[in-house]
Structure 1
Amino acid sequence: MYNTRSIQRFIFVGILATSTLLPIVSVFAEEASTTPVAVETTNTVSTDVPVPPPQPVAVQPVSNPYGFEALWNEGDLITKSTIFILLLMSIGTWYIIITKFIQQAKIQRQGKEAEVKFWAASSIDTAAETLTEASVYRFIAEKGINSTRKHGGNLLERIDFNTWVTISIQRAIDKIQSHLSGGLAFLATVGSTAPFVGLFGTVWGIYHALTAIGISGQASIDKVAGPVGEALIMTAIGLAVAVPAVLGYNWLIRRNKAVLDNIRAFGSDLHMVLLSGEIKNDSKSDSK
């Protein structure tokens, strides 16, 4: 009896000990399994070999599919023709602005030369020879002098001498004015038509956008971005051509007015000198 109870107690204690120690053993087993990993990580961090920094990602150059180059490569005949017309307008505009500025500056220098040399001469004949051959002031002086010498004959004698000299000088001034105004009509034309030429390219680009939408059946951004960008570029080109033309036209007109005022003043002074009878007196002394 005693032995049976002792065996029962021993079995109960063994079962209790087993149920108590199993969770502790499992915990120690988990800690033992994770401990090598921690040690390995610690060893890796504590190494003396420096870790190289991450290399930057190479950026590949991406071509702009909506720029001017794409517009020229993918544009049709009408688009390229429109750009070519605007390019010709721009070249002509800058050529006229530069050449007219040089011409006006040259005439202004000739006017300063005439003020110094022409009126300091002893006679009209020698005064005209003091100016350079390409001077517009010499051209006006020679026309006025020749008009006084040619005032004769049955037909010209019916015209008053004052009127005849005035008409001759005014014709010379009008010819110079016409020469100065050459090319300004082109600037006015470009300034008024270039925006509409660019607008035509804009309408054509929008037409391409609507066509792309109709073919694809969807109004996604990749379908309309190219044609709409083409339309905006054409508008910008038209404005870039028109604005310098308008500004250059107004600037050259203002400079022409200043140049012509000096020429008319010279012509008025020349007219009074010619009416003083110096040419007739010189011609009479030569005949004697």
Structure 2
Amino acid sequence: MNFRWLFVICLTIVLLSACAQKPKQNQTMPGMDHNQHNQPSGGKESTNTSQVQAVWKFADSAPQSGKDEQISIQIQDNTGKPIEKFQVSHEKQMHLIVVNKDLSFFNHIHPDYKGKGLFQIRTQFPTGGDYKLIADFIPEGGEAKTESQWVKVSGDVPAAQPLTPETNLTKVVEGKEVSLSFDQLQAGKELTMTFNFLDASTKQPITNLEPYLGAVGHVVILSADAEKYIHNHPLEEKATGPQAKFGTAFPASGIYKLWGQFKHQGKTFIVPYTIQVP
């Protein structure tokens, strides 16, 4: 198996900033192009994704916690002309990741495409505070693109939860015992991370995982400061368990939080882990 080729297909690493800064309202963090998806074949009009940008708007000038808020994301080129065509990637034209500053909240949602480069969705923020929105999409004829935005949400702001690396990477979620392991864990190295699934009661292997967004699972990874973003797809998308393997690489040492997303017996579930990468 050509692991480097799988790495290019399955891995998205976006270095959103050279140094961590305190989030500001409506501050867009610059990103790098990534190669998460297969690239389009020849014969189509190409799109220079380095010139693609997102303009974020909220129906309320100051979004409030616990209230439905409409988010609009206008995709355009650097002259303001809308980008109008997008590829479908894992069943959706856009994937939107929402996290709060301490990474205790995570949401993976999918805005509707309204045409002429405009995506919209209504969602809720559970508490006040700073949130980061990360949009993944592929303009037709171009490469995969990530755009992000910090937004300040009004409302009660809970005390920040410390992000402490876990030594036990086995968890029970929705009646499933899920264990995470790595063939090696070191910054800058290509590696394989493996999720193993057992029935929490019987300890029998789970072999009937169902496709979630066209694959056995998805993994989203963020550094502790939310500056480094990775979105992985499985090495074997049609796997059904008891294992799901993902190729990835961590760009730098430090603390990371990751969320594995899977589906079993008609229900999706999320398994979060906090790890220390040497």
Q: Quickly name the TM-score band, shorter chain normalised.
A: under 0.3
Higher share in strand: 2
RCO higher in 1 or 2 (8 Å CA, sep ≥ 6)? Answer: 1
Q: Which has the larger radius of gyration?
A: 1
Higher share in helix: 1
Q: TM-score, normalised on structure 1?
A: 0.19
